[in-house]
Chains A and B, each alone.
Chain A
Amino acid sequence: MIEIINLCKSFGSVVAVDGLSITIRKGELFGLLGPNGAGKTTAVRNICGLLRADAGSVQIAGKPPTDLSVRKKIGLAPQNLALYMDLSAEENLTFLARLYGLSGSRLRQRTDWCLDFAGLQPRRRDRVKTYSGGMQRRLNLAAALMHDPSILVLDEPTVGVDTQSRTAILESILTLRDRGCTILYTTHYMEEAQRLCDRVGIMDHGKLLALDTVGELIQAHGGKALIVLERGGNEERLTTDDPLDALSQLDWEDRPERLRIEPASLESVFLNLTGRGLRD
């Protein structure tokens, strides 16, 4: 569905995307992970045709993303809020919908759906600049859904959103996936990616480091599981490939007060692949 072949993009001397190749299948929820400055947003903007690639190509359903018929199918929620702050939520949404040719009852129906989705029904006539950060973020996402696109590109759509809204948003995204939407999702929240994504790509310095299902990635790069025991106020840490086996070999005469098993997770995959150093 989305075919990215050897995509390269530099800004001056900064190489933001360096030979990225990913194929996202139709109906798939694909997660793109990477530390700050890894090049996710740049990749996303190239995929949407907002930037011209230095090399390589992006094809969506066999056409370049700049093609009008392709653009109609894409819904983009940019990482930076892209809303008219002096208009209300309703005005923002209806304006965008009209550009996509919606009108009449269909327009009203979609507007209501999106306002419900963003939880902004009670504030629909207030100016966006009077909303809280989370409300604006939710509207930013809803605006991408207004024209009911079949391809969704969501660049960190849940930053700064509270737990309740996040849960609701994630559920809605899963519903959209189940309805057949193809979704590209970038995030810094590992548990989100782990819960949502069919497949995950991890990139750093513009390059793709790994790409697979969450399970396979953990298997390959997650490292050992961690068993944490507390005995007499002391913490003992055991790392193991096989937690069950390790537990059975423990000295159960000296019973620990507490025991915790931390299985390898996407987070450990991420840290193992991209290192623990801080990013700019």
Chain B
Amino acid sequence: MRNIFILALKDIRVANRYKLVAFFHFVFPVLYAILVGYMMSGIVGLGVGMYRGTVSVAVADQDQSEFSAGFLRQLQAAKELKIHQVDFDTAKDMVRRRRCAAHLVLHKGFGSTSWLLTPGGQPRMRLVIDEARIAEGQIVRGMVYMQLMDYVRSHFLRSFTDNPEQNARLRAVFRAYLDVDTQLDSALKQQLIDLLHTWQSVEQTQSTSGGQPPSGPTLATESGRFKDNSILRQIFPITFPQGMIWAMLFSAAFYAISLVEERAEGTLQRLRMAPLTRLQLLLGKGLACMMNCLGTSIALLAVGMLFFGIRSNSYVLLLIGLLSAALSFSGMMMLLASLSKTPAAAEGVSLSALLIMAMLGGAMVPEVVMPPFARTISSYVPIKWAIMAMEGPIRRDFSLGEMAPYCVGLTLLGMACYVVGVFVFRLTED
């Protein structure tokens, strides 16, 4: 045991001499956890109507009517959008040069509103989204239609509510919209339904009292209902465990490479001449690897706890999770290392294995964006187990029993890798 420690301490000492190691083992995972945290909060926030960023849209107003100008003003007021009012060619160009995520053309006749009064009529405008920026494009699409409906509603509320006949036609148009455009998102649908209700009540008040129309319900944007922090508080407990996994993966890969490097540089000869067994040699490296995995992931956890509000329901369980993850990662990497002949091979194999696992396991991209088949594979990837073992005590309130399958799986896998690794390592010369 003493020998294993001596070997491990040497390896950690060597590792600490590399500047890049600090970056990959600590800085990168921290950056990952924080940056992805912020990015995901944007994406998730979008889903719950909390998107805080702005998307640039180039708008070409070819109609130049009062109606179109009013609509533009309304668009400009929407804080989710940054409107650049330009001519058509410039608008196209701005999308091409990535200055804008989409361009919107208000064609001649946009303000004539005749399209509104034709059932199934489409607004005389065209929204073109940069295919490479679908997500932002969808925001634009949603916002533009929402604003359009809002604008049209208030416009018509002002000018048409005294004409019951036109009101009825308008209502029919909106109904048609609801039926035809199945792509309308639910929020928008709700808006339209509200609108119809408003009209109904307007008509009723008019027919009963003939007084002033009440103002319709204002467009309810949900932003401001949550504080930004609250969503980050939900996101960081997702991204920090992932960052911890990154820290572990990089640590583990480093030692896989280091073992093969010792073989190439001849220091392994010295170790093999020393009174050590092959098992001790491999375990020494493995222990260094485990300690480094634990050290880096705990450092990351500390950052998360100190500055990003990460908490755990049970630090004992968390430690068990960390230990079993470290055991299995170090085992997998030691197995890879004993199979590799050259440092380049070890580097290639370990890094690609690592990246593929990270990808499938959900350390690289959130599971939400994975296609279904990848999600299925994901549950069989050890990194997924490790993420669960870490998320369990951090955000899922896992009990020991709920943690057990993941931890046991990781531990068994790690031990199996060590056993095979030692066996292979015994067979190799040098």
Contacts and interface: CB of A to CB of B under 8 A. Distances in A.
A272 B311 CA distance: 80
B272 A50 contact: yes
A258 interface: no
Interface stretch (A32-40, A71-79, A259-267): A71-79
B180 interface: no
B18 A99 contact: no
A78 B269 CA distance: 8
Interface residues of B, number: 22
A84 B18 CA distance: 13
A29 interface: no
Contact of B10 (A81, A82, A95): A95
Interface in A145-180: none
Given A87-B13, A87-B17, A99-B3, A51 B271 contact: no
A99 B429 contact: no
Contacts of B430: 50-51
Given A86-B17, A95-B10, A98-B6, A71 B274 contact: yes
Contact of B275 (A72, A85, A95): A72
A98 B276 CA distance: 12
B273 interface: yes
B126 to A, nearest CB: 62
B280 to A, nearest CB: 9
Interface in B315-357: none
Nearest to B429: A51
A278 to B, nearest CB: 27
Interface string A60-93: 0000000011011010101011111111000100
Contact of B14 (A50, A71, A84): A84
A72 B273 CA distance: 8
Contact of B274 (A91, A99, A127): A99
A183 to B, nearest CB: 16
B205 interface: no
Interface residues on A, range: 20 to 34
Contacts of A72: 275
B161 to A, nearest CB: 81
Interface in B243-273: 265-267, 269-273
A118 B18 CA distance: 26
A84 B14 CA distance: 8
Interface string B1-26: 00100110010011001100000000
Contacts of A143: 270
B52 to A, nearest CB: 46
A82 B270 contact: yes
Contacts of A95: 6, 10
A220 interface: no
A45 B273 CA distance: 10
A48 interface: yes
Nearest to B9: A95
A106 interface: no
A240 B272 CA distance: 51
Contacts of B10: 84, 87, 91, 95
Given A51-B430, A80-B266, A99 B14 contact: no
A96 interface: yes
B269 A82 contact: yes
Given A52-B429, A95-B10, A99-B6, A71 B269 contact: no
A189 interface: no
A101 B276 CA distance: 11
B4 to A, nearest CB: 11
Contacts of B273: 48, 50, 71, 74, 76
A143 B255 CA distance: 24
A50 B274 contact: no
A127 B17 contact: yes
B274 A81 contact: no
A7 B271 CA distance: 24
A237 to B, nearest CB: 45
Nearest to B266: A82
A76 B275 CA distance: 13
A87 B229 CA distance: 46
A74 B10 CA distance: 22
Contacts of A50: 269, 272-273, 429-430
Contacts of A85: 265
B13 A100 contact: no
Nearest to A74: B273
Interface string B267-307: 10111111111000000000000000000000000000000
B405 to A, nearest CB: 40
A96 B14 contact: no
A78 B266 contact: yes
Contact of A100 (B18, B274, B277): B274
A76 B270 contact: yes
Given A50-B430, A98-B6, A86 B18 contact: yes
Contacts of A48: 273
A50 B267 CA distance: 12
Indicate the member of B265, B273, B274, B430 with the most A CB atoms within 10 Å.
B273
Contact of B13 (A49, A91, A98): A91
A114 to B, nearest CB: 14
B266 A99 contact: no
A99 B277 CA distance: 11
Contacts of A69: 275
Contacts of A68: 275, 277
B6 A82 contact: no
A190 B294 CA distance: 54
Contacts of A96: 270, 274
Contacts of A83: 267
27 contacts: A45-B269, A50-B269, A50-B272, A50-B429, A51-B429, A51-B430, A52-B429, A69-B275, A74-B273, A76-B270, A78-B270, A82-B266, A82-B267, A82-B269, A82-B270, A84-B10, A84-B267, A86-B14, A86-B17, A87-B14, A87-B17, A91-B10, A96-B274, A98-B6, A99-B276, A101-B275, A127-B17
Given A50-B272, A74-B273, A78-B269, 6 more contacts: A80-B266, A82-B267, A87-B10, A91-B10, A96-B274, A99-B271
The 5 closest A-B pairs by CB, nearest first: A82-B266, A86-B17, A99-B274, A80-B266, A98-B6
Interface of A: 45, 48-52, 68-69, 71-72, 74, 76, 78, 80-87, 91, 95-96, 98-101, 127, 143
